[in-house]
Amino acid sequence: MNPVHGGEGSGTALRIQEHTSMTQDREEGTKSLVTGGEASADVLMTQLCPLRLEEVVTKNALHDGLPEHCTAQATSEGEERCVSGEENPSEACGTIVQDVGEKEDKVQPALEMVALNDWNKLKELGKDVSGPGQKTNSLHSQKLMIVKQIVKHIKSLPQDSLDSHSSAVRCQGMQLITDCSKAKPPLEGKEKLDVVIVCVASIFALPSIEALQRQEGHKVNVKDLYNQTVAALEVMLRALLSEKPNPAELQNFLDHLAPWMTSEKAHERARAVRTSVCLLQAAAESPKFCMSHKFPRLGLLIGRLALRVGDPEKEIGHQAMEGLYFLYSLMWCQKEPERKMGSVTAVLHQMLQKILGIYEPTRTCENISEIVKAASALCEVLSVSMCTQAVTRFYPRLLMALLVQVHYTIGLSLPDSGVSRKELIPACCVVKTVKTLLLKMGCHYEFTAVEKEGGWELLTSSEEHHRGVGLLARAMVHYSCCQLWRILYLLVPFLERGDKQHKLTAMAFFVELLHMPQAKRLPEKYSVLRLLKGLTDPDPVIRALCVKGLITMADWPGKEIKVLVPAMINSLCGVDGRLVVEALADVKKILRGLDVASYVGCITSLLRLLFDDERVSVRSAAISLFGKMVKKVKKTQGLMKEEDVLDSLIPLLLHLQEGNPDMAEKCKNALDECSRLLEWRLPKQVGNGKAWHNHQEDVDEICQYLVKKHQENVQRFLFQSQCYLSSTQPSLRRAAAMFIGFLVMHMDSMMRMKDLDIISNALAGLLHDPEASVCIFAAQAHDRVLAVYWKLKYGLVEQHKVNSDSAEKHHSPPNHPATEGTSSRLCNAINLWKLAAKH
């Protein structure tokens, strides 16, 4: 008889000897822990006192709670988790945060365990109670008291080690709970939740068996102790499930195991999958399991197991596949009501293997694809309500889970992850499953759009993954995918759960969904406040995505986003330039309806820093955004300081000479807006698109205009242009040298000898530039600077301001003889170069 259902003589007594290692294997351990008759409980009770628990339980007590992720229940659709969205328990398994009641002080375990030794009370509880309500209440309260004390003791056990004493406490406590489950009424609500959460966390959070054995050395056989403890847990969970054997209760149990199934630690994932499969098997093989009820979140269960089929650990993948066989057998029994529960024969098992496929570690993507197809086919022949539930919920959940799985797989593939690439599922295999799923969802247009934009390759790149996710989300928004509102609903609670991979993938998808009209109905705590919190996230990608999301909400009614601009810009400081321009792509929304504010200046200042980014795409995007922002500003608004505009003129003027037509167009537009705001009238040569090295008269005309019309700013322009003499781009070094040469020539009377020394030295450094054209035009500029120097030295031109430093009057130009000779030789080269250019 199945141990879940008990019965006379259904199990044997648990016998744990204090100093003797257990040698039974896992299966034998399971049998030895099965309880069902009074004899086994009698033995248990007689062993409680000799173990002197007060000497065992008190050391290394845990903190008072369980991780929040282990206690959360998806009791409503709004709080349902995404398939892989449960939080990572390994991050918090060192502390147990779930209160099983009020905060309790430390007490002596021996005194409290006395209550458990009253076997007469427990024996009464084990009988069906049909007497007066008062007696029922009394017995039920005794049962609750016993369970509460057991939970308290298990909760106090050390989480970093396993010895015979702690193993005995766990095993005996869970066996007592198993016995108590026979008493009616059954445990409900918080009481049952506390039992499951505490017992699961107490075992799953233990280090791996290998680590535990290293701690204990040869003193005990940790593997046997652990197997006995796990077996006791599984027997207890089966017994608790047998109190209400239906899909809703089964799913409730599996929900409590789900957070551990996404752990970064393989041994935690393995424990959760094994126990989940144990419960599914118990349900499938139980004649009493009632399938007239429906699984509340069937798609969620399929998705969880499907993801673990693709686990890097083969044993986990194999067990997850077995779990799917049992889950599908339950669904099959609902499809065929005449098939009785518990009749899972070898024939049915083989049929499911043929439908879902046999687990193949090297081809897990094919397994998952077959699971997706089989889910669709099976759901279509179920009842209408079942079909609606499974299909509409299964696809969105599995889609998000697969995207996270891609990111997780990429992370494990990195050189410093410590995981061999041979042990991993190739990310492209998971992406292949994503493609299959999209087509099953009917997202054909979305599929094509992602394909055209290279989205699949982006998904499998560690640096570009979030861009691939965003591209897919944008395509789904653009084509109004019918599943988007459900995905949005799933992501709301998911954003604050899980590890880095979960959060980043979810955020990348979420910020794109904010373009949906339905997103405007999100409460502020799930939208503005959540993104505002993300501005301080240690991950720069998360911060950039949050800025992008907040800008999207800038024109939402009732959302005051503009006041958050300083915090948004501050969060982007030090962030990669490409992320910055992506985050600010739609920043002009901030200016809508704005009268007076100081936000524009801080945004344009950040963009100006990106004008000289080494990547042309970043430079181009920053300059384009800068021009668009300036265009929105009116002179009377006072949104930008004049200095901010002036500081952008020379960078824009020089970047016109990059030789990139698209860049030149964007620079010209930005310069036009700057001159409008300054009320300047730049000469036509600025925007004619001609290259300065072929039309030196243009740069001469521009410099003459600046000196003549804006003398008060030419020193600023001269200083800014010198910075570009050391640019990594030859075109900018060349343009800067030409600009400086002509500007100094027209500024002759405004120059100081000291400044000319600095400029001359800087230009001399380019006379041996690896780019020939830079050498040539630097030599020309150097000659012009020297000419101004000699004019000032011999009084051929009167300075506007006499220098009081008498020593400077006798200062000779730096390296004069050598420079003059080099200049003469280069002049000959220049003439030859010009002649060649004409032909």
> Is 123's pLDDT higher than 60?
no
Contact 207, 75 (CB under 8 A): no
CA nearest neighbour of 39 among 1, 20, 62, 13: 13
Average pLDDT over residues 363-390: 60
Read off the tokens for 802: 């006499």
- Residue 426: per-residue pLDDT: 60
Contact 86, 275 (CB under 8 A): no
- Cα–Cα distance for residue pair 651/717, rounded to 1 Å: 10
Quick check: bond before 185 cis, omega within 30? yes
Tell me which of 668 and 35 has the higher pLDDT. 668
- Cα–Cα distance for residue pair 210/756, rounded to 1 Å: 73
> Is 25's pLDDT higher than 50?
no
- Cα–Cα distance for residue pair 330/319, rounded to 1 Å: 17
Give the Å distances, CA to CA, from 214 to 154, 209, 269, 630.
23, 9, 21, 66
Instruction: Give the range among 37-51, 233-247, 788-802 with minimum mean pLDDT.
Output: 37-51
- Residue 583: per-residue pLDDT: 92
Instruction: Give the range among 313-322, 393-402, 589-598, 625-634 with minimum mean pLDDT.
Output: 589-598
Interior/surface letters 424-457, b for 16+ CB within 10 angstroms, e for the rest = bbebebbbbbbbbbbebbebeebbebbeebebbe
Read off the tokens for 335: 């499809």
Residues 668-707: pLDDT tens digits? 999 999 999 899 999 989 988 899 989 999 999 999 999 9
Give the Å distances, CA to CA, from 133 to 140, 144, 184, 185, 502.
10, 16, 12, 11, 50
Average pLDDT over residues 644-661: 93
> Is 112's pLDDT higher than 80?
no
Residues 722-735: pLDDT tens digits? 999 999 999 999 99
Contact 159, 205 (CB under 8 A): yes
155 Cβ contact partners less than 8 Å away, ≥ 6 residues apart: 62, 96, 100, 198, 202
Average pLDDT over residues 24-40: 33
Q: Is the dihedral of CA 386, 388, 393, 395 positive or negative?
A: positive
Q: What are the CB-based long-range contacts (under 8 Å, 24+) for 685-693?
A: 686/653, 686/656, 689/661, 689/664, 691/657, 691/659, 692/657, 692/734, 692/735, 692/738, 692/739, 693/734, 693/738, 693/773, 693/777
> Is 421's pLDDT higher than 60?
no
Interior/surface letters 754-790, b for 16+ CB within 10 angstroms, e for the rest = ebbbebbebbbebbebeeeebbbbbbbbbbbbbebbe
Contact 171, 16 (CB under 8 A): yes
> Is 18's pLDDT higher than 90?
no
- Residue 413: per-residue pLDDT: 53
DSSP string, 410-461: HHHHSGGG---GGGSPPHHHHHHHHHHHHHHTT-HHHHHHHHHTTHHHHHT-
Gyration radius (Cα) of the chain, Å:
37
Neighbours of 17 (CB within 10 A): 11
- Residue 457: per-residue pLDDT: 92
Average pLDDT over residues 330-348: 64
Tell me which of 820 and 742 has the higher pLDDT. 742
- Residue 346: per-residue pLDDT: 63
Which element (helix H / strand E) includes 256?
helix 247-261
- Residue 360: per-residue pLDDT: 76
193 Cβ contact partners less than 8 Å away, ≥ 6 residues apart: 71, 73, 256
173 Cβ contact partners less than 8 Å away, ≥ 6 residues apart: 150, 151, 153, 154
Find where tokens 């290394």 sit.
60
- Cα–Cα distance for residue pair 260/405, rounded to 1 Å: 15
> Is 467's pLDDT higher than 90?
yes
Q: What are the CB-based long-range contacts (under 8 Å, 24+) for 245-248?
A: 245/283, 245/286, 245/288, 245/289, 245/290, 246/289, 246/290, 246/291, 246/292, 246/293, 247/283, 247/291, 247/293, 247/294, 247/295, 247/296, 247/330, 248/293, 248/294, 248/295, 248/296
Read off the tokens for 418: 């410590």
Average pLDDT over residues 394-406: 78
Torsion of CA 266, 268, 270, 275, to 10 degrees: -170
Contact 538, 575 (CB under 8 A): no
Average pLDDT over residues 382-403: 62
Amino acid, res. 802: V
- Residue 799: per-residue pLDDT: 57
Neighbours of 325 (CB within 10 A): 23
- Cα–Cα distance for residue pair 257/649, rounded to 1 Å: 61
Confidence grade of residue 248 (pLDDT, cut at 50, 70, 90): confident
CA nearest neighbour of 453 among 470, 436, 477, 428: 470
- Residue 104: per-residue pLDDT: 35
Amino acid, res. 677: L
- Cα–Cα distance for residue pair 56/37, rounded to 1 Å: 28
Find where tokens 């998911």 sit.
494
- Residue 137: per-residue pLDDT: 66
- Cα–Cα distance for residue pair 253/131, rounded to 1 Å: 31
- Cα–Cα distance for residue pair 174/574, rounded to 1 Å: 53
% pLDDT > 90, the chain: 34
Residues 160-210: pLDDT tens digits? 888 888 899 999 999 988 888 887 778 888 888 889 999 999 999 999 999
Mean of per-residue pLDDT scores for the chain:
74
CA nearest neighbour of 607 among 636, 556, 573: 573
Confidence grade of residue 226 (pLDDT, cut at 50, 70, 90): very high
- Cα–Cα distance for residue pair 245/242, rounded to 1 Å: 5
Amino acid, res. 1: M
Average pLDDT over residues 112-139: 48
